[in-house]
Amino acid sequence: MDIHELAHHLDFANHHPNATARDIQTLCDHVIKYGFHAAFVNPIHVALAKKTLGKSGVAGTAISFPIGQDRVDIKITAALKAIEDGADELDIVPNTASLLSDPKGTSYLEEMVQIVRAIRQTNAVTIIKFIIETGYLTSPLIQTAARLIHDSGADYVKFATGRGPKGATLEDLALIKEVVGPDMKIKVAGGVDTYQEAVDFINAGVTRIGTSHAIEIIQNLPSTSSNQHNSE
């Protein structure tokens, strides 16, 4: 996999609580330099990221991150404000506890449907991803969550936040793909820090990878990939 193809799968993220405006500008500069798909920032920095990236750049943010236990109206307000500020993509955390309380996921689904409806009424092209915090769920509940995200009308299933008990695993990816099928896009995050880990997930069917280690991943391509890139 050459450097351009790999970079396009990567969302370079800075969700640190101490991220400054200068940090975000540097993040966006690196997105442009290396050709990463998007810059993902905290909601407070969306407008700055979009301005720095330019009109053609992709700015993303996370909503109710990482806990997911805001009220649904607050999640909707935050999502719509992020869109107003220029967010092209939203990674939204549903309330994991509602799924644990009701394994059928009635309220889990209803929350997501309300969010999708509100966003679509405002901006039909915004990319919506819901995040499964897989570390708190059994395998059957991971599959239930994935199925409900598929049914909600979202564009992507994402797992995990990177702040929970575990990050993305190939085993959980297989569980999710079994439920959502080949057409639902999947994003992973949490612990994907190396070239080989990134390639393994992409080869297994992942569309996008959220990582704060995008530069390290790109800079540590095997020599064969580097040589291929240099010859192009």
- Cis amide prior to 66 (ω within 30 degrees): yes
Whether this model's pTM surpasses 0.85: yes
| Residue 189: band (very low, low, confident or very high) from pLDDT cuts 50, 70, 90 | very high
User: Taking 50 as the threshold, does the pLDDT of residue 75 lie above it?
Assistant: yes
Domain that holds residue 109: 3-231
**CATH number of the domain enclosing 190:** 3.20.20.70
pLDDT above 70 as % of the chain: 96
Number of domains, the chain:
1
For residue 214, which phi and psi values (nearest 5 degrees)?
Answer: -60, -40
End-to-end CA distance of the chain: give it in Å, rounded.
13
pLDDT tens-digit map of 27-48: 999 999 999 999 999 999 999 9
Residue scoring higher pLDDT (221 or 109): 109
Average pLDDT, whole number, for the chain?
94
Q: How far is the CA of 171 from the CAs of 130, 139, 180, in angstroms?
A: 19, 10, 15
| Predicted pLDDT of residue 223 | 57
DSSP label of 49: H
HSE-up of 24 (CA within 13 Å, CB side)?
24
Residue 68 Cα distances to 176, 192, 195, angstroms = 20, 22, 30
Is residue 74 helix, strand or coil?
A: helix
pLDDT of residue 222: 74
Query: Which of 61-88 are b and which e, b meaning 16 or more Cβ less than 10 Å from the residue's Cβ?
Result: bbbbbeebebebeebbebbbebbebbbb
Instruction: Output phi, psi for 103, to 5 deg.
Output: -60, -15
Residues designated catalytic: 91, 158, 187
Average pLDDT of the residues in 176-200: 96
Q: What percent of the chain has pLDDT over 90?
A: 93
pLDDT at position 226: 43
- pLDDT (tens digit per residue) in 155-176: 999 999 999 999 999 999 999 9
